[in-house]
Amino acid sequence: MLRLTKKDISLLVVVIVLTMLAPFLLNPFPSDSGLAQFNAGYPDLMQKFVIFGIFAIGFNILFGLTGYLSFGHAAFLGVGSYAAVWMYKLVSYNVLPAVVLAVIVAGLFSVLIGYVSLRRSGIYFSILTLAFAQMSFALAYSVLSNPSFNLTNGETGLQVYANDPQIFHGDHLPNFPHLFGLSMGSTYKMAAGAWEFQFNVAYYFCAIFMILAFYLSMRLVRSPFGLILRAVKTNQTRLNYTGLNTRPYTLAAFVISGMYAGLAGGLLAATDPLAGAERMQWTASGEVVLMTILGGVGTLIGPILGAGFIKYLENIFSKINDNVLHQWFSFMPDGIEDLMVMIIHPFVGKGWHLTLGLMFMLVVTFLPGGLVEGGQRIKTWWANRKSSDKAGKPASTPAE
């Protein structure tokens, strides 16, 4: 029914189960434990996991399948956010129309940028996408914030004000993004002993879109269209010699990837109705490149793993300060305690990027296939170990 192989269906089921049970799985430590610092089961972070997972899945469709490395994908993320907020300002806070508009606008914008950028390949394509993204950032930050036609509100960011039209917004509806009256900010908290689990409406709304995005990416990868994209990555010149025009296929991949980014931008606005130019900066584009490479370029689940890994470091490691470190090592003598804090300090807090950089170097050096390759190696090692254990057991002989 899903038109997937048995292996792909198993992978999809795993993703669904992990996503639905995330509030439990990401809160392994009791709330009053010193290790609760590493819990990630709170709504804001879980929303980022799935939203940036969508962003990375879309980027992987372009980079992982065709080999075209874009340094400007954040432009579509930002455009999607601006489109969603404008829908809130003009129509209502309902998230569904806002998300649909975000995908459409990002798709149209990606057609324009892709049509020009794909006239070149390799590093020239990457530089063109970076240039377009930086131009988009400059437009959003200054030019389009002109008082006469203020589309982006500049450095303050685009947001909803009380005097905005919102023609379908009733007094009975919440003044926050909602799904037909169900506020995206609603959170149910469940206490279970020393643990507390949070079930947030916005998280599950975004999670459903991530599951659908993952399923569509699987279908695309296994389709004849995906096969042509992989052929483009392998040897585009040889493919052109067969008489096949690859431009429509690469443009289609670029637009689909841009629409995924627009969806992620719209969902960001669904969780926080504010759109700022910083979402279009080159650093945001570089972040999705890191996510895809860390997770595994060209793999199905790799981009999701990479997005979760980086967002975990950004939100958990960045909050570990010297006070937390001193609490961890308080059982040691004062001199040893201070030494341990001094050693670890550069890798946490504001220095979390150093940890990320070291992790990236290790992955690129020893696991070119990313975290997915690491998992495959562990699986192979475990299978070989079980086989060797079975081979080492003496064969049983029948009783006489």
Per-residue pLDDT of the chain (400 residues; tens, 9 = 90+): 578 888 999 999 999 999 999 999 999 999 888 788 889 999 999 999 999 999 999 999 999 999 999 999 999 999 999 999 999 999 999 999 999 999 999 999 999 999 999 999 899 999 999 999 999 999 998 888 877 778 898 888 999 998 899 998 888 888 999 999 999 999 999 998 889 999 999 999 999 999 999 999 999 999 999 999 999 999 888 888 888 899 999 999 999 999 999 999 999 999 999 999 988 988 899 999 999 999 999 999 999 999 999 999 899 888 888 888 888 888 888 889 899 999 998 888 888 889 888 888 888 888 888 999 998 999 888 888 888 777 766 555 554 4
Task: In whole angstroms, give the CA distance from residue 154 to residue 293.
Answer: 32
- Contact residues for 336 (Cβ-Cβ < 8 A; gap 6+): 329
Q: 384 burial class (0-12, 13-18, 19+ CB within 10 angstroms)?
A: exposed
- Contact residues for 332 (Cβ-Cβ < 8 A; gap 6+): 340
Q: How far is CA 215 from the centre of its chain?
A: 15
Task: In whole angstroms, give the CA distance from residue 267 to residue 207.
Answer: 10
The pLDDT value recorded for residue 400 is 45
Q: Under a CB-based contact definition with an 8 Å cutoff, are residues 295 and 303 in contact?
A: yes
What are the extents of the domains in the chain?
39-280
Three-state secondary-structure class, residue 188? strand
Half-sphere exposure of 168 (CA within 13 A, CB side): 14
Amino acid at 120: R
Alpha helices in 168-246 (DSSP H): 201-222, 224-241
Number of Cβ within a 10 Å radius of residue 378: 10
